Structure 1
Amino acid sequence: MLLQIGHSQQVTNGFSMPESITSNGERFFVSSQGQDFMTKDGDGFISEISSDGKILNHKFLPSKGILNAPKGMTIVNNILFVADLDRVVGYNIKNRKTVFELVIDEAKLLNDICESENGFIAVTETVSGNIYKINIDKKSFEIIGNIPTANGVAYNQKTKQLLVCSNGENYGDGSVYLKTENSEFKELPNISNGFFDGIEWVDNEHIIISDWITFPVNGYGKLWVYDLKNQQSEFNITEESIADIYYDNTTSKIYMPQMFHNKVLISDWEQLSKNQNEINNLYNYGVIDAFIGGLYRGTLPIKDLKLKGDFGLGAPNMLNGELTMLNGRAYQTKATGETIELENNHLTSFASVTFFKADTTFVQNSSADKSAVLNTIEKMLPSKNKMYAIKISGNFDHIKTRAFPPVENEPFPKLANILDQQQFFDYENADGTLIGFFLPSYLNGINAGGFHFHYLSNDKKQGGHILEFNGKDLKIEIANLKTFEMETPNDNDFQNFEFIKTENESLRKVEQGKH
């Protein structure tokens, strides 16, 4: 795997909302935005640091004049160009003099910047989504594309490809885009939506992207590696609010400004991989006994659920089908059979999610039905008393799913009392993914013990709770989950719900100390 050196993470404090790091291979610079990232208050500055993160000059720039909220930076021929709200400023790093300034009147939040083809730089404007190409000599610019909430930008001089990543209009549904020399921007597949910030080329086939997951932040983010050739992605969990990163091709170090903590972190992929507890965690919202007992009113926004995982299943607000999460996007398969992507403000009453990263992958070569496939998987599991997230993908000869109808009038019926209202769907020759879990029996009541799967077709038009399936050459991925996190609703319905008491005679005797 690329990016493997094996040194410990280094941390440098003392910045003021650091947003970007750049280098010419010899000197390293950090932009600090000051107290506010959108205000023309003149309190921004650029620091020079050593390759191991020590601050060499806290306020290296500007030596004269002001910077308001400097963000992305790039160095071209010893000129450090920085995006500063509505202007691009250039400084000679040898003598610290201002040698370039271009104001873009229509801009409000110029964000990231990179060297483009010879004599040009590219810069993103997040409010409008414009991507500008600037002629350095002529101090002129043109718009070469528009991506809503465009943020990170990176250009590959060899392949002449331009990358842009976005925050997403709902602050967490951003994507990554690629533009070749004579084409428009195209969205890259097989990477979860996120609140993407920085983007860097590792080599001609790999890129890394920083991802806040959503905004506001909630404790951690992601750092993605994307394989352009195979169109596959993987990630490691990082600390929160990692902004415009810099990747050093010589040392494989990743320089990460932690914006809301005024730090710079320096690490590599191997070191990040050593602390990935969130990936192996199962987050459970609600209690399944309460849900099937009639608590269908949603209380947790999908936006908050995405902070806990990018893979899982649950229930939509007021039922009406099934909820499935895959690659960081949440979908609802309705009782009509229609499958839609859910907005971030949609509420769920029950869900189980994790950040999926497989520990075991194999292919079921022979044709097999649900019973045979699950029997094969069960034999692969080290213990039935552990938790597992399971992904099954490929072409299915046949799939049968179901979805419950919406509920409207209180008191809501128990789920078992509306089984006759289930809607069933049969799909033939279906390409898609089963998303699910195997959970130990001791979690029954909190969740459902054993196997539980939902289906989502590759075109995201079909789905539902799995009842039957059969297929051949199915790819099976298993992630071992090591920790369990549970959160319960705070609404009155849950607080006053009457759970059915089950007596454990042995436990009663132990607690009372009686034979």
Structure 2
Amino acid sequence: MVRSGQTGLRQDTQGAPEHGESKSKQKPVANRLYQTSTMAALLDAVYDGETTLDELLQHGNFGLGTFNALDGEMIVTDGVARQFRAEGVAAEVPGSLKTPFACVTYFEPEQTVSIDEPLDKAEFEALVDRLVGNPNLFAALRFTGLCEKVDTRTVFCQCHPYPPMLEVVKKQPTLTLNAVQGTMIGFRTPAYMQGINVAGYHVHFLTEDQKRGGHVTEYKVTRGTLEVATISDVDIRLPRTQQFAQANLSPDHLHQAIQEAEGG
């Protein structure tokens, strides 16, 4: 049954104050998506970006992504960035690290529901879809509670010349967590944004003890709290690197390639 209601590296940077207002009192804009580069670029081995984590966290305290050289998965919770590396082990990271692809926001839930019965991946996503309503807008989601199982993967650091992402994911370490408490966060992206981002659901998981997790490929939630927010304000920053300039961002079978890369 579902019951509804309304409602490491740490940097809580606020937006510029309006005239006559101190910066300390100015709240950041909630539920605005800030994104670095595109998923199509990552698919074509554009694994080096220009944005540091310090810069990224000026735009959000909640999100996900990866690191330069595809060195593991990123999760940002409560303004803290963590890196999942081999076997899904999580660690806080310095703000000097850079990212080739990441999405963050200042997450403020617009709807909250209590889940007290098992929901598989398809059922969970259908619930989020009903709560959001509009299929043509982005959404941010956070589930906190008990999962019957969570299947994760972690990409690993690459060396030049970088191989395409579909080659990398064939060798990626995977992990299954059973009867685990934790937090699953991420975004739902409209279908027409495929290639810019990951159409559909892109979520990462962090255990309650903040020690394990990664990019989620399959899961079943048992009970907990689901929070969602709709996003209609999107800021995409594209790199000016030579690598990005030479990337093929409109390859054949883009949709199928992203589904394979993301484990969808």
TM-score where L is the length of structure 2? 0.85
Aligned equivalents of 2:235 and 2:144: distance in 1?
27
Give, as a single letter, the amino acid of the residue that structure 1 aligns with 2:51. Answer: L
1:1-20 superposed Cα distances (whole Å, 9 cap, x missing partner): xxxxxxxxxxxxxxxxxxxx
Does structure 2 retain, via aligned residues, the 8 Å contact 1:335–1:406? no
Q: CA deviation at 1:337?
A: 2.5
Aligned equivalents of 1:337 and 1:477: distance in 2?
25
* Residue number in structure 2 paired with 1:226: none
1:316 to 39, 51, 67: 67
Q: CA deviation at 1:264?
A: 4.9
Aligned 1:149-228 pairs, distance under 5 A: 193-194=10-11, 213=13, 221=14
**Structure 2 residue 49 is the aligned partner of structure 1 residue 298:** yes
* Residue number in structure 2 paired with 1:439: 189
Does structure 2 retain, via aligned residues, the 8 Å contact 1:333–1:340? yes
**Structure 2 residue 148 is the aligned partner of structure 1 residue 397:** yes
3-state secondary structure, aligned to 1:425: strand
Aligned equivalents of 2:170 and 2:186: distance in 1?
24
Aligned residues: 244
Aligned equivalents of 1:352 and 1:296: distance in 2?
15
* Residue number in structure 1 paired with 2:79: 328
3-state secondary structure, aligned to 2:86: coil
Does structure 2 retain, via aligned residues, the 8 Å contact 1:320–1:335? no
Please identify which structure carries the higher helix content: 2
3-state secondary structure, aligned to 1:421: coil
Aligned equivalents of 1:419 and 1:457: distance in 2?
23
3-state secondary structure, aligned to 2:109: coil
Aligned equivalents of 1:501 and 1:294: distance in 2?
13
**Structure 2 residue 223 is the aligned partner of structure 1 residue 473:** yes
Q: Which runs of 5+ in 2 are unaligned?
A: 1-7, 253-264
1:89-139 superposed Cα distances (whole Å, 9 cap, x missing partner): xxxxxxxxxxxxxxxxxxxxxxxxxxxxxxxxxxxxxxxxxxxxxxxxxxx
Does structure 1 retain, via aligned residues, the 8 Å contact 2:49–2:239? no
**Structure 2 residue 244 is the aligned partner of structure 1 residue 488:** no
Give, as a single letter, the amino acid of the residue that structure 1 aligns with 2:193. Answer: L
**Structure 2 residue 183 is the aligned partner of structure 1 residue 406:** no
1:430-475 superposed Cα distances (whole Å, 9 cap, x missing partner): 1111110111011111101111101111221111111122222221
TM-score where L is the length of structure 1? 0.45
Q: CA deviation at 1:369?
A: 1.8
* Residue number in structure 1 paired with 2:58: 307
* Residue number in structure 1 paired with 2:208: 458
Give, as a single letter, the amino acid of the residue that structure 2 aligns with 1:462. Answer: R
Q: Percent of counterpart pairs with the same letter? A: 26
**Structure 2 residue 123 is the aligned partner of structure 1 residue 367:** no
Aligned 1:38-49 pairs, distance under 5 A: none
Aligned equivalents of 1:317 and 1:452: distance in 2?
19
Give, as a single letter, the amino acid of the residue that structure 2 aligns with 1:265. Answer: E
1:65-95 superposed Cα distances (whole Å, 9 cap, x missing partner): xxxxxxxxxxxxxxxxxxxxxxxxxxxxxxx
Larger Rg: 1
* Residue number in structure 2 paired with 1:381: 132
* Residue number in structure 2 paired with 1:346: 97
